[in-house]
Amino acid sequence: MSPRRLPWLVLLLAGSTTASDLGYEAYIDSPRRMKCMYGYVTAKTGNFSAARRIFEDCVARWNDVYSMIWLAQMYESGSGVPKDPVKAAEMLRRGAEQPDGTSYVSLARYHWGTVLAEGRGVEADPVAARHWLEKALADGQMEAEEYLQRLSADRPGSNEEVQ
């Protein structure tokens, strides 16, 4: 989610909840799925411990791809958790493998493709990276197009005609 959408999300949360519901404590064990989005706000305010618990619960309850992406970013950067590129890669793989049409699956596919291309937490696999980036692009994730162009430019002989 882009930073410019954050005020909209805060207004949405404020408009549909009471003041006591805005504290992260109300969302850690909440059965309401909107808490997955609230995990983003919690992480952005620096409360990574609560954000991790919210995201982990969203993954466990609903296999929530948005939460998988955020957990992966936390593990990759070491924000509130020990740095663990293997765990980050596993979260992104899991998100990328969700069925077509699942919310945020194209974004997970893009990130999984970049992980495979760069070998972050997994062995680099340019063929698999290209596959996932092409799926992300087909799903409308336009950032994948630029990354695919970079992969083609980095490939030896990519500017030569195949004979």
Distance separating alpha carbons of residues 152 and 163, to the nearest angstrom: 17
Residue 154 in tokens: 């980095």
The answer to whether residues 93 and 52 belong to one domain is no
Q: Is 10 a residue whose pLDDT tops 90? A: no
Band (pLDDT 50/70/90 cuts) for residue 113 is very high
Q: Are residues 87 and 46 in the same domain?
A: no
Alpha carbons 80 and 87: distance in angstroms, whole number: 14
| pLDDT, position 27 | 74
Q: How far apart are CA 53 and CA 60, in angstroms?
A: 10
- Is there a domain that residue 90 lies in? yes
Q: Based on the domain organization, do 102 and 148 belong to the same domain?
A: yes
Report if residue 74 sits inside a domain.
no
Residue pair 144/136 in contact by the 8 Å Cβ criterion: yes
Whether 139 shows a pLDDT value over 60: the answer reads yes
User: What average pLDDT does the chain have?
Assistant: 84
Residue 91: inside a domain, yes or no?
Answer: yes
71 within 8 A of 55, measured Cβ to Cβ: yes
pLDDT at 32: 81
In a domain, 72, yes or no: no
- At 60-105, the pLDDT tens digits run 999 999 999 999 999 999 999 999 999 999 999 999 999 998 999 9
Distance separating alpha carbons of residues 98 and 43, to the nearest angstrom:
24
Domain range holding 22? 1-62
Return d(Cα 88, Cα 74) in angstroms, integer: 8
In-domain check, residue 71:
no
In a domain, 107, yes or no: yes
Whole-model pTM: value is 0.78
For residues 87 and 146, state if they share a domain: yes
- Rounded to 10°, the helix 105-118/143-154 angle is 20
Please list the helix, strand and coil fractions of the chain in percent, rounded to the nearest 5, in that order.
70, 0, 30
Query: Structurally, how many domains does the chain consist of?
Result: 2
